[in-house]
Structure 1
Amino acid sequence: MPMQAQEIEALLKQSFPDARITITDMAGDGNHFAAEVIDESFRGLNRVQQQRAVYAALKGKMDGANGDLHALALTTKVPD
């Protein structure tokens, strides 16, 4: 079942409550999203570590064929 952008944002807000999060449905199909997550907790982490933290926050929603979320183009940043 496709996810809604609001569901993705809510999951991410649980792990990153102070983050600025932007979710975009890239294809309008509820399966291909882009997410930008800007959070202070990323400071000192390399990009792979930042992205792993975001994927962990999605709590299995991207787990292969059984996941609710098919594709996520992810951008992570530290606030300026």
Structure 2
Amino acid sequence: MILRNYNIILDNEKYFTSTNANVGRNRYYYSTDSSTASNNIKFKQKKKFEPKLMVWMAMSSKGVSDVFIHQSGQAVCQD
């Protein structure tokens, strides 16, 4: 076997927003009469760069890693 002396490690990460913006059905509103929908539903404000949580873990034939959760910070200073 070619990989006999190697240990393959699989890892993956997923980013989640706190506003459920990554769920496609939560992005829009639907109404039969848009004039009756309130403005806070039609014009919902959101940040350009929302805070996110990154969830990461790895696994191999030796076992499974702990789950690592990291809250993203601001990438660019506002100075």
> Taking structure 1 as the reference length, what is the TM-score of the superposition?
0.23
Q: Considering fraction of residues, name the structure with more helix.
A: 1
Larger Rg: 2
> Taking structure 2 as the reference length, what is the TM-score of the superposition?
0.23
Q: Considering fraction of residues, name the structure with more strand.
A: 2
